[in-house]
Amino acid sequence: MKTAICPGSFDPVTLGHMDIINRARKLFDHTIVAVLVNPEKHTAFTVEERINMLERCTRAMDDVEVVGFDGLIADYARIRDAAAIVKGLRAMSDFEYEFQMALFNKKLNPELETVYLNTTAENMFLSSSGIKQVACFGGDISNFVPECILQDIEQRLCAGGKRK
């Protein structure tokens, strides 16, 4: 069985994230969505909330597992016997960063491959930070996030850029 890991902060989950997860499922037998704790990022949602949102978004996907993870993804991939890391790319700037990370991961775990999936044109502009900004100012984010978590995001963020 070929396993892939889709790592990310998912703060919050976007339709772009869901597109990459669904496409990874077509390539691999088992997809682990790893919610990473990144000390450099200030998150709007706790890791537990992000895991919960992803579990709700992937509830009907028997071949998807959602986990929290803190540490090196190369080590976690070895522990889980994952063949690949799957990353979505929106722009050349994404590629530069992800290419560097892939080289680190390959050095740390020579058996691990990185697979890049280009985003679809309709998701190319989506980012979690952009969605949070739109939501904070009262904008409509219903076309950017899965419907099952829309209310969670709207309740956390409010118009005027202030947190509830």
Query: Which entry of 56, 80, 90, 156 is annotated as an active-site residue?
Result: 90
128 belongs to the catalytic site: yes
Q: Which of 2, 41, 59, 107 is catalytic?
A: 41
DSSP secondary structure letter of residue 138: T
142 is annotated as an active-site residue: no
Catalytic residue flag (residue 80): no
- Exactly one of 23, 30, 50, 128 is catalytic; which is it? 128
Q: Which of 17, 30, 50, 132 is catalytic?
A: 17
Q: Is 142 annotated as a binding residue?
A: no
Cβ(87)–Cβ(12) under 8 Å? Answer: no
41 marked as part of a ligand binding site: yes
- Told to judge if 42 belongs to the known catalytic residues of this protein, a careful annotator would answer no
Phi, psi for 66 (deg, rounded to 5): -110, 130
For residues 55 and 129, is the Cβ–Cβ distance under 8 A?
A: no
Q: Is 128 annotated as a binding residue?
A: yes
How many C-beta neighbours within 10 Å does residue 79 have? 8
Nearest to 153 by CA among 8, 58, 15: 15
Establish whether 17 is an annotated binding residue: yes
Active site residues: 17, 41, 90, 128
Annotated binding-site ranges:
9-10, 17, 41, 73, 87-90, 98, 123-129
